[in-house]
Amino acid sequence: MTRFLQIHMLTSYPPSNLNRDDLGRPKTAVMGGVTRLRVSSQSLKRAWRKSEIFENAVKKDHIGTRTKEMGMDVYKSLMASGVEEEQAREWAGAIAGEFGKPKRVTKKEPFGDLFIEQLAHFTPEERAAIDRLVENMIETKQGPTDEDLALLQKEHTAADVALFGRMLAAAPAFNTEAAAQVAHAITVHKVAVEDDFFTAVDDLNIGEEDMGAGHMGETEFGAGLFYLYMCIDCESLVGNLMGNQELAGTALTSLVEAAAKVAPTGKQNSFASRAYASYILAEAGSQQPRSLSVAFLKAARGEDLLSGAIDKLEETRKQIDSAYGSCADKTEKMNVVSGVGTLDNILGFVKECVS
């Protein structure tokens, strides 16, 4: 089994606003003294985890549920089955409290005690245990015992938790260390966030009295060629999945396929900025991983940015390997510009890393 799998991707997005800041602007970062567009790793991981590619490959039985609202979900189930309100609330709160600190009850949130303060990632095994407990409480009309509330499980088969980890502040012994590290995607070149002033016409306004627009607004966007890097500890992934190499292979290939095809959904209806990766370099080996973002410390320029970025990435990789020694035992490449390689070849290479 390979220890580390490293993935480098170049993907070009036309005008878009995939990942916004608190002001609604595309997220940015200053690198090499110039402003770049940025898509956060959190945004990317959620888009991949919730994609049809990942969900169809991994299946429901191996995908967790990330929520603060499990207690409310349990409460509704108990109430629908005829459990008295006071008991339903007490029992549901006890279950939720096993996964996090309950929120305070306020006038605005009278059911705050059924929510936990931080998002918790429930594994399928834990969700099944909660469902069984709820069924038992409904049948026996009795609340949960301390033994019943031992719901947290260290061993699980949640592929998304195995890849991206989970942190339970109230029960750190049940944390899962992420097997996948995902960098923020950044443009390889300098960018300027632009403003789009738009108007909307009222279809029933025939212009007899008011010739103005029915609505006016402004949105911001940017376009660019993004470099994405991620590193997966394959041994940790298999370990997180209790040694299930087949499931680890499915999780890993669906993750890489989603990364190549799926972007965050921000403003997609306005910009239709869907894109596939134009270049993928996969590296496998036991050597210490390293990003190749230094290739773009000096912002790329020129009319053929994609070809130039590919050349710069490969040149930088050769130079680093020359100085430090090879960072991988084997590699696989897909280059849409030159017609070299396919995504299927990449996915086959990726799957071998956990076999």
Residue type, 293: S
Per-residue pLDDT of the chain (355 residues; tens, 9 = 90+): 999 999 999 999 999 999 999 999 999 999 999 999 999 999 999 999 999 999 999 998 999 999 999 999 999 999 999 999 999 999 999 999 999 999 999 988 899 999 999 999 999 999 999 999 999 999 999 999 999 999 999 999 999 999 999 999 889 999 999 999 999 999 999 999 999 888 788 888 877 777 677 788 889 999 999 999 999 999 999 999 999 999 999 999 999 999 999 999 999 999 999 999 999 999 999 999 999 999 999 999 999 999 999 999 999 999 999 999 999 999 999 999 999 999 999 999 999 999 9
Bridge partners (DSSP) listed for residue 332: 282
Question: What's the confidence (pLDDT) of residue 300?
Answer: 97
Three-class SS state of 95:
helix
Three-class SS state of 291:
coil
**Quick one: tokens of 150?**
């031992």
- Alpha-carbon distance of 71 to 130, in angstroms, equals 10
Residue type, 116: I
Triad 184, 185, 187: Cα angle to 5°: 135
Domain extents for the chain? 4-60+177-352, 66-157
Nearest residue to 182 (alpha-carbon basis) of 246, 244, 236, 255:
255
Alpha helices in the chain (DSSP H): 41-49, 52-58, 70-80, 85-97, 124-140, 159-164, 234-240, 245-261, 268-271, 305-324, 343-352
- Alpha-carbon distance of 227 to 206, in angstroms, equals 49
- Alpha-carbon distance of 100 to 82, in angstroms, equals 27
Which DSSP state fits 280?
A: E
